[in-house]
């Protein structure tokens, strides 16, 4: 199948062709015709398969079919609202809107927290057709009455599962209350949990359903590998792997912000250019780090799980789990930064004895065993015993229950075990089966938190 077979208008086909694409991915081939019909849609596909183009292209075509009346000041009303959980993802989606809509006369903008509101207010006053936003900053503008959502024709919830993980559900409900009841609603998600289906039941009207891959399935083109290592040898093993294999573009994940900073400093001292990206970094610093990494000026980007979504890089070859995530679904999102849109990738996990429980949970989730391979010269110390892992004000891991601090067992017991499901970027997180409380969100800053190529098909 070609894009020319999907019923898209000539300006869109020209933009797609100019961007170097001819063949749609499976999610695009199914989603585009369904969105063009005007019905609601619940769509799921593993990360990196092109969900963004799957809704941006038909959305632009539907908007082109009608011309709404200007408001009382002669401005274009907001006709499409796209909600994303993170700043970087919002910026990437809005960039896709501009790329695919380059031959159409639509105005678009992105709004998120961490930057001043006044430039956003000034642009909103001039009128905008398509608005991409994080929930918190959108509600800030709504509270100040600097935008009007009463004319929205199409609503898109992108990475809806991440929104739930980050505690945005109360904000999403507030946004929905500001929208007209009659509209087309599209919910896209990298994973298809039961919670997402429950949300869809409440928000969507008789939606079409697309699920192009098994839930939580990792891409077949990603070569996954585990290197068992001693607890204190991880930094040296990472430096060894980068230098020995001559890696020049590596995305490395840690659990905590301070751990990301320390690792980036260690890599710099070893002669490897590295920067950290996490929630405590300013928006300017995050944008600079991502830009340098994407353009190949930075060898290693060290990130917490907030960056697991929204980083879209041409043919990213290597992802390293310096520390395994305590939430197994985050493993899928992390390694999904490589092996995108038909290109191969490599995902390496450095696993010490403290993380064996996390590894078992991940393998249970993805329904496969990940090959183990010991790095010569860095054999793990077989005498090491598992120790608890500290995440902010939580202690999880073997023997965590003896410390009398949060976390607990994955089955809800207060005894030991490895498994609190707390998110790992900074704040105490919910226990298994719970979401962060409403109000001040657990670890989510107002206006959204950050997490963040092509080959054959658009994947943004």
The pLDDT tens digits of the residues spanning 344-354 come to: 889 999 999 99
pLDDT at residue 435 in the model: 35
Q: Are the CB atoms for 328 and 361 separated by under 8 Å?
A: yes
- What is the spatial distance between Cα 73 and Cα 328, in angstroms, rounded to a whole number? 50
pLDDT at residue 314 in the model: 66
18-43 as b/e, with b when 16 or more CB fall inside 10 Å?
eeebeebbbbbbbbbebbbeeebbbb
Q: Are the CB atoms for 50 and 28 separated by under 8 Å?
A: yes
Share above pLDDT 90 across residues of the chain, in percent, rounded to a whole number: 50
Measure CA 315 to chain center. 17
- What is the spatial distance between Cα 89 and Cα 10, in angstroms, rounded to a whole number? 27
Q: pLDDT (tens digit, 9 = 90+) per residue, 23-60?
A: 898 889 999 999 999 999 999 866 667 889 999 999 99
- What is the spatial distance between Cα 159 and Cα 169, in angstroms, rounded to a whole number? 12
Q: How many CB atoms lie within 10 A of CB 209?
A: 14
Q: Are the CB atoms for 290 and 301 separated by under 8 Å?
A: yes
Burial of 360 (C-beta count, 10 Å sphere; 0-12/13-18/19+): middle
pLDDT band with cut points at 50, 70 and 90 for residue 80: very high
pLDDT band with cut points at 50, 70 and 90 for residue 409: very low
pLDDT at residue 388 in the model: 82
Question: Poorest-confidence range of 27-36, 158-167, 220-229, 395-404?
Answer: 395-404
Q: pLDDT (tens digit, 9 = 90+) per residue, 282-301?
A: 777 887 888 888 888 999 99
Judging by DSSP bridges, how do beta strands 274-277 and 300-303 pair with one another? parallel
pLDDT band with cut points at 50, 70 and 90 for residue 440: very low
pLDDT band with cut points at 50, 70 and 90 for residue 78: very high
- What is the spatial distance between Cα 1 and Cα 25, in angstroms, rounded to a whole number? 9
The whole-number average pLDDT for the span 268-273 is 96
452 vs 43, residue with greater confidence? 43
pLDDT at residue 309 in the model: 58
Question: For residue 358, what are the CA distances in angstroms to 24, 179, 331?
Answer: 36, 41, 10
Q: Is the pLDDT of residue 115 over 90?
A: no
- What is the spatial distance between Cα 460 and Cα 455, in angstroms, rounded to a whole number? 11
pLDDT at residue 304 in the model: 87
Residues with Cβ within 8 Å of residue 136, at least 6 apart in sequence? 113, 168, 171, 444, 445, 446, 447, 448
Q: Are the CB atoms for 1 and 29 separated by under 8 Å?
A: yes
Q: Is the pLDDT of residue 439 over 60?
A: no
Judging by DSSP bridges, how do beta strands 345-351 and 274-277 pair with one another? unpaired
Angle between helix axes 87-100 and 283-294 (nearest 10 degrees) is: 60
Token duo for residue 459: 């994947």
Does the domain made of 222-386 have the CATH classification 2.60.40.420?
Answer: no
- What is the spatial distance between Cα 139 and Cα 147, in angstroms, rounded to a whole number? 10
Token duo for residue 220: 């077949």
Q: Are the CB atoms for 52 and 158 separated by under 8 Å?
A: yes
Per 3-state DSSP, the chain is made up of helix, strand and coil in percentages (nearest 5) of 35, 15, 50
Give, rounded to a whole angstrom, the gap between the first and last alpha carbons of the chain: 19
Give the residue extent of every domain in the chain: 3-211, 222-386
pLDDT at residue 310 in the model: 58
Q: How many CB atoms lie within 10 A of CB 179?
A: 17
- CA-CA-CA-CA torsion sign (78, 13, 32, 64): positive
The whole-number average pLDDT for the span 419-446 is 38
pLDDT at residue 63 in the model: 94
- What is the spatial distance between Cα 193 and Cα 332, in angstroms, rounded to a whole number? 13
Q: Is the pLDDT of residue 131 over 50?
A: yes
pLDDT at residue 196 in the model: 80
Q: Is the pLDDT of residue 116 over 50?
A: yes
Measure CA 120 to chain center. 23
Q: Is the pLDDT of residue 389 over 50?
A: yes
Residue 368: CA count within 13 A, CB half-sphere: 15
Q: Are the CB atoms for 321 and 347 separated by under 8 Å?
A: yes
Q: Is the pLDDT of residue 234 over 80?
A: yes
pLDDT at residue 54 in the model: 93
- Which helix (H) or strand (E) segment is 34 a member of? helix 26-36
- What is the spatial distance between Cα 233 and Cα 372, in angstroms, rounded to a whole number? 17
pLDDT band with cut points at 50, 70 and 90 for residue 451: very low
Q: Is the pLDDT of residue 436 over 60?
A: no
pLDDT at residue 403 in the model: 37
pLDDT at residue 269 in the model: 96
pLDDT at residue 423 in the model: 42
Q: Is the pLDDT of residue 393 over 50?
A: yes
Q: Which of 416, 446, 419, 449 is nearest to 431 (CA)?
A: 419
What DSSP character marks residue 457? B
pLDDT at residue 262 in the model: 94
The whole-number average pLDDT for the span 60-69 is 86
The whole-number average pLDDT for the span 179-185 is 94
Question: For residue 65, what are the CA distances in angstroms to 58, 253, 270?
Answer: 11, 44, 57
pLDDT at residue 220 in the model: 72
The whole-number average pLDDT for the span 98-127 is 93
- What is the spatial distance between Cα 341 and Cα 164, in angstroms, rounded to a whole number? 26
Q: Are the CB atoms for 301 and 444 separated by under 8 Å?
A: no
At the second CATH level, the architecture of 3-211 is: 3-Layer(aba) Sandwich (3.40)
Residue 223, classed as helix, strand or coil, is: strand
pLDDT at residue 337 in the model: 81
pLDDT at residue 128 in the model: 94
Q: To the nearest whole number, what is the mean pLDDT of the chain?
A: 81
**pTM beyond cutoff 0.85:** no
pLDDT band with cut points at 50, 70 and 90 for residue 392: low
103 vs 217, residue with greater confidence? 103
């Amino acid at each position: 199948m070609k894009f020319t077979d999907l019923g898209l208008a000539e300006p869109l086909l020209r933009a797609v062709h100019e961007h170097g694409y001819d063949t749609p991915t499976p999610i695009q081939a199914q989603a585009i015709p369904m969105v063009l019909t005007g019905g609601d849609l619940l769509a799921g596909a593993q990360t990196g398969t092109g969900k963004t183009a799957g809704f941006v292209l038909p959305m632009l075509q539907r908007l082109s079919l009608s011309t709404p009346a200007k408001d009382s000041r002669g401005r274009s009303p907001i006709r499409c609202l796209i909600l994303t959980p993170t700043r970087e993802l919002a910026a990437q989606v809005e960039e896709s809107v501009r790329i695919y809509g380059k031959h159409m006369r639509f105005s678009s903008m992105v709004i998120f927290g961490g930057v001043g509101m006044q430039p956003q207010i000034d642009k909103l006053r001039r009128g905008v057709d398509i608005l991409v936003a994080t929930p918190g900053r959108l509600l800030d503008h709504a509270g100040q009455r600097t935008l009007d959502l009463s004319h929205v024709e199409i609503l898109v919830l992108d990475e809806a599962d991440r929104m739930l993980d980050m505690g945005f559900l109360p904000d999403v409900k507030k946004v929905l209350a500001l929208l007209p009841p009659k509209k087309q609603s599209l919910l896209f998600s990298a994973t298809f949990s039961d919670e997402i289906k429950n949300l869809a039941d409440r928000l969507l009207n008789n939606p079409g359903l697309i699920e192009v891959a098994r839930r939580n399935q990792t891409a077949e083109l990603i070569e996954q590998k585990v290197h068992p290592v001693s607890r204190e040898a991880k930094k040296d093993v990472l430096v060894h792997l980068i230098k020995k294999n001559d890696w020049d573009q590596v995305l490395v994940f840690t659990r905590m912000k301070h751990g990301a900073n320390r690792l980036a400093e260690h890599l710099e001292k070893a002669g490897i250019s590295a920067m950290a990206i996490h929630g405590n970094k300013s928006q300017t610093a995050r944008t600079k780090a991502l830009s340098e990494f994407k353009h190949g000026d930075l060898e290693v980007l060290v990130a917490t799980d907030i960056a697991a979504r929204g980083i879209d890089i041409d043919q990213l070859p290597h992802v390293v789990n310096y520390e395994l995530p305590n939430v197994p679904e985050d493993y899928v999102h992390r390694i999904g930064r490589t092996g995108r849109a038909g290109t191969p990738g490599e995902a390496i996990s450095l696993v010490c004895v403290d993380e064996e429980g996390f590894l078992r949970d991940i393998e249970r989730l993805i329904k496969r065993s990940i090959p183990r391979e010991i790095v010569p010269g860095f054999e793990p110390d077989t005498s090491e015993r598992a120790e608890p892992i500290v995440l902010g004000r939580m202690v999880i891991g073997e023997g965590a229950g003896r410390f009398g601090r949060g976390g607990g067992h994955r089955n809800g017991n207060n005894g030991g075990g490895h498994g609190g499901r707390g998110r790992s970027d900074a704040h105490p997180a919910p226990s298994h089966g719970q979401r962060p409380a409403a109000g001040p969100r657990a670890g989510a800053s107002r206006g959204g938190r950050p997490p963040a190529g092509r080959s054959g098909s658009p994947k943004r």
